[in-house]
Amino acid sequence: MKTAVMIAALIAAAALQPGMAAEKKAAEKKPAHSACPSAAAAEAEQGIRFMTDVMVVSSACQDTVYAEFRLRNQEAIRAYQKTMIAHFHGNKGFDTWNTTLANQASQKHTGLPTAEICQKDAELLKTAQGLDPAGFRHYAQTQVATMQTTPGCAK
């Protein structure tokens, strides 16, 4: 199953390459201030990044943590998705970004034995198990507070 997931992720990444190059070129034409995410978008991005990492690891480890996390935090997740859809000016931009994010998360584990993935990311799954909606939002906000800002963007 792990091999099938990785193959699907690589095929999706390859299919997105031409579109991503065009989007990158279009983004380069936009003014620099448009690259600076709002506080809400920065938080939403961190929340979705966390959720994506949990999805990949939970799937590789054949664990139910991801499904339980999504069920418990569905309102926060939907709010984060809506924020990012607005940030990317529509579903297409969000879907492209979200797919790329999932592919990157999968690639971090390429070639690793399942047991090593599960051991290496046990703390991630443990964190996800303990996050309710308020905790999830706090986690995402903490990630924003500790990350580097984009050059030219205020923190």
86-120 per-position pLDDT tens digit: 999 999 999 999 999 999 999 999 999 999 999 99
Average of per-residue pLDDT across 31-44: 75
Task: Give pLDDT, residue 6.
Answer: 45
Contacts of 145 (CB under 8 A, 6+ apart): none
Rounded mean pLDDT of the chain? Answer: 82
Task: Give pLDDT, residue 155.
Answer: 55
Are 94 and 40 spatial neighbours (Cβ–Cβ below 8 Å)?
no
Exposure string (b/e) for 121-142, b if CB count within 10 Å is 16 or more? beebbebbeebeeeebbebbee
What tokens does 146 get? 């500790």
Across the chain, the runs of DSSP E, i.e. the strands, are none
DSSP 94: H
Model's pTM, two decimal places?
0.74
- In percent, how much of the chain has pLDDT > 90? 69
State yes or no: pLDDT of 39 exceeds 70: yes
Task: Give pLDDT, residue 61.
Answer: 96
